[in-house]
Amino acid sequence: MGMRRRVGGFVLLVNPILCDGFGHCAELAPDLVHVDEWGYPVIVTEPVPLANLAALESARYAVRGCPRQALRIERVSDPH
Amino acid sequence: MIALTSPYLWYTTRATGLVTMVLFTLVVSLGTLVANRVGGTTVGRFELNELHRTIASVAIVFLAIHIITTVADSFVATGPLAVVVPFVSPYKRLPVALGAIALDLMVAVWVSSLLKARVANASWRFIHWFSWLAYAIAIVHALLTGTDARHGVGLVIVLACLATVAGAAAWRFVARPTRAAGRTALSPLGVEPEPRGVQRDRAPTRPAPGPAVESSARDATPFPRRPQPRRHR
């Protein structure tokens, strides 16, 4: 998978002030985002390894697809 | 200046004008569907949003062809400045001016959407409201300028587009969705929240001797802290 080993992980973060509960993120990244009873996202909080390309791609789709621009991806360094 | 006297530029202008109008009708209607939280069961909400964005890109291409062929054609004298500046066209001053105003508004909406990640969301939304105005002005432009839009099939298409967007506007502004107005079908719970009208129904029919304060205080909580247990299975 490329020259450089992908180290560290990422978390998908939601800005709850901007979020209006459109629910697009849960459709685009179903492995990372669940929707609570009122339509707001509940996102997996523990970092996902960057090597998980499918998860990273779905997170990028969710960021791009959010009608309120309420999502962002934050990198976290490898804890070890 | 090359004498572009071929009639095909003029035909292209007229045809792309109609196609642009139909495409922007679709764009505005799809935007209304997204804003009103349609989808989630048979069609994904994100899919409607993607259609809204993609058809908008196609519509902008057709709009560009419509404008370029109008300016390049020598059959009518408009001039390149009349594309963006209102009231400078020798040909049909007011109708072409309306087209220029609509174009300026559409460019504002388009550029703000391209820069969506860098623009504050409140600003983006404020600019996006002007798409309604742009559409309305563009329809008047079509009716006043359109060679084909005043009779026959062309008029039918214009009126159908106008009726579609008028309906979408009415639906958007009457049925304003509240924040998070509805879970998608993908919600893991899929449980209807406790109906709010319970207290109103119960109070007159059953004058309960129990402590009324406790029940009313419980019913007055804005929303339950945890999902209520399902009664009907």
Contact B49 A26 (CB under 8 A): no
pLDDT of res. B193: 46
pLDDT of res. B73: 84
pLDDT of res. A5: 60
Best mutation site among A14, A33, A35, A66 for testing chain B: the one with the most B CBs within 10 Å? Answer: A35
SS3 A48: strand
Q: Is the pLDDT of residue A24 over 90?
A: yes
Residues of chain B neighbouring A70 (CB-CB closer than 8 A): 121
Least CA distance to B184: which residue of chain A? Answer: A23
- Facing residue for B186 by CB, picked from A20, A35, A65: A35
The domain tally of chain B equals: 2
Asked whether residue B129 is assigned to any structural domain, the reply reads yes
Contact A38 B184 (CB under 8 A): no
Asked whether residue B78 is assigned to any structural domain, the reply reads yes
pLDDT of res. B138: 96
- Which of B192, B186, B188, B216 is closest to B202 using CA atoms? B216
Least CA distance to A72: which residue of chain B? Answer: B117
H/E run at residue B93: helix B93-114
Q: What CA–CA distance (Å, rounded) separates B57 from B62?
A: 9
Distance from the A68 Cα atom to the nearest Cα atom in chain B, whole angstroms: 6
Do B100 and B21 reside in the same domain of the chain? yes
Asked whether residue B182 is assigned to any structural domain, the reply reads no
Distance from the B190 Cα atom to the nearest Cα atom in chain A, whole angstroms: 7
Cβ within 8 Å of residue B85, ≥6 positions away: B100
Residues of chain A neighbouring B37 (CB-CB closer than 8 A): 22-23
Residues of chain A neighbouring B46 (CB-CB closer than 8 A): 24, 27-28, 65
CATH number at residue B15: 1.20.120
Q: What CA–CA distance (Å, rounded) separates B180 from A26?
A: 13
Residue A18 contacts B, CB cutoff 8 Å? yes
Asked whether residue B184 is assigned to any structural domain, the reply reads no
Share of chain A above pLDDT 90, in %: 71
**What pLDDT digit, counting tens, does each position of A47-77 carry?**
999 999 999 999 999 999 999 999 999 998 8
Asked whether residue B181 is assigned to any structural domain, the reply reads no
Residues of chain B neighbouring A24 (CB-CB closer than 8 A): 45-46, 49
Class of domain A9-76: alpha beta
Q: What CA–CA distance (Å, rounded) separates B57 from B113?
A: 11
| A76 C-beta neighbours (distance < 10 Å), count | 13
Asked whether residue B76 is assigned to any structural domain, the reply reads yes
Asked whether residue B135 is assigned to any structural domain, the reply reads yes
Q: Is the pLDDT of residue A18 over 50?
A: yes
CB–CB of B32/B166 below 8 Å? Answer: no
Distance from the B181 Cα atom to the nearest Cα atom in chain A, whole angstroms: 7
Interface residue ranges in chain B relative to chain A, Cβ cutoff 8 Å: 34, 37, 40, 44-46, 49-50, 116-117, 121, 124, 179-184, 186-189, 191, 193, 223, 227
Residue ranges of chain B with pLDDT lower than 50?
1, 185-208, 210-228, 233
pLDDT of res. B181: 54
The last residue of one of the domains, among B174, B203, B224, is: B174
Do B18 and B122 reside in the same domain of the chain? yes
Q: What CA–CA distance (Å, rounded) separates B15 from B63?
A: 11
**Residues spanned by the domain of B32:** 7-174
Asked whether residue B127 is assigned to any structural domain, the reply reads yes
Contact B34 A21 (CB under 8 A): no
Contact A26 B186 (CB under 8 A): yes
Do B165 and B200 reside in the same domain of the chain? no
